[in-house]
Amino acid sequence: MRYSRARRERWAERLVTSAVVGQDTIGWYQRQVDAALPDLLDDLLSGVAEVTAAPIRYAVLGHGKRIRPLLLMAAFKATGGRAEDAARIACSVELVHAYSLVHDDLPCMDDDVLRRGRPTLHVRFGVRTAVLAGAAMMPLAVRTIGLSRHALGLTASAAAQLVVRLTAASGGAGMVGGQLLDLRAEGRSVMPDELERIHTGKTAKLMAASVAMGGIAARAQAVDVDRLERFGLRFGLAFQAIDDILDMSGTTDELGKESGRDEVLRKATYPAVYGLPEAERLSRELVRSAAAELDGLPEPDDLRMIAKWILARRH
């Protein structure tokens, strides 16, 4: 069921911390990514026919939160690097995320017509083009690591570790597998353990890979990379829980996509399984447990700030 505006606002307020959390810092990270993406795409798409390049640019350069590259950059800083130095390599995870949105929105998947405040790629360019453009983005993400490693002084072995992390989190044991579980769960009740399995694959594993990749790129010790990965898994589940709450409580204008789609498609969501108050409590608990994993890192403040910020977000 949908809810009154007053009730939606009350629920949204429960997600907002007592102070405005880190918006300037978040904005700085987002600007770094937004500045890096066009130049990167110029390099990646050099010599590519415009019929292929145009839909890729449309999908990637649309206004987004840039959470995954932001996490990679903040993890790079948390383990001793300068965040801005990792902006270009961080775009690799944004390319994977952008391709996942293109495919999620297809008529055979979630059949969404609005994304980031404008028509979805298949609406704008057609379904066949959307399928192929999405497929082209994954190899571009891997190539981004290859093109970016020398500027960071990464060895071929370190770059290979990044590729392994990214592809493992994106494939059948990660994002793609989670999406398939999500589709199979539509229209039926699921238990909490199945819900966690769905969203660990669909959302959390790529976020965990993002922060782990930041640590690897900064030459962090293995124990710190493990800490970052645990942070990312908990953060990713919290992010998904909040996303589920916002789909139910937000408006289309606020979200930049059609609200209420989870209910229409009878998706397996945190509010559907737990109810709204418990879903909200779980999101807070996941953020707290994620932040606790950062103890002992050299510069964890930005990652902690990002974790708090997702509790305050409205879209």
- The full set of domain ranges for the chain reads 5-309
CA gap 137, 37 in Å, rounded: 13
Amino acid sitting at position 289: S
Q: Find all residues with CB under 8 Å of 50, minimum gap 6, and list them.
A: none
Return the pLDDT at 6: 52
CA distance 184 to 174: 15
Residue 18: the pLDDT is 34
What are the distances in angstroms from CA 94 to CA 14, 52, 67? 29, 18, 8
For residues 65 and 29, give the distance between their C-alpha atoms in angstroms, rounded to a whole number: 10
Beta bridge partners of 114: 119
Residues with Cβ within 8 Å of 264's Cβ and at least 6 positions away in sequence, in order, are: none
Written as six digits, the tokens of 184 are 């199979």
Per-residue pLDDT of the chain (315 residues; tens, 9 = 90+): 444 445 445 545 554 443 355 778 999 999 999 999 999 999 999 999 999 999 999 999 988 999 999 999 999 999 999 999 999 999 999 999 999 999 999 999 989 999 988 999 999 999 999 999 999 999 999 999 999 999 999 999 999 999 999 999 999 999 999 999 999 999 999 999 999 999 999 999 999 999 999 999 999 999 999 999 999 999 999 999 999 999 887 666 666 667 678 788 899 999 999 999 999 999 999 999 999 999 999 999 999 999 999 887 765
Long-range contacts of 28-32 (CB under 8 A, 24+ apart): 29/66, 29/69, 29/70, 29/73, 29/74, 29/83, 29/302, 30/65, 30/66, 30/70, 32/73, 32/83, 32/84, 32/87
DSSP designation for 81? S
- Euclidean distance between CA atoms 169 and 174, whole angstroms: 5
CATH code given to domain 5-309: 1.10.600.10
* pLDDT at res. 255: 66
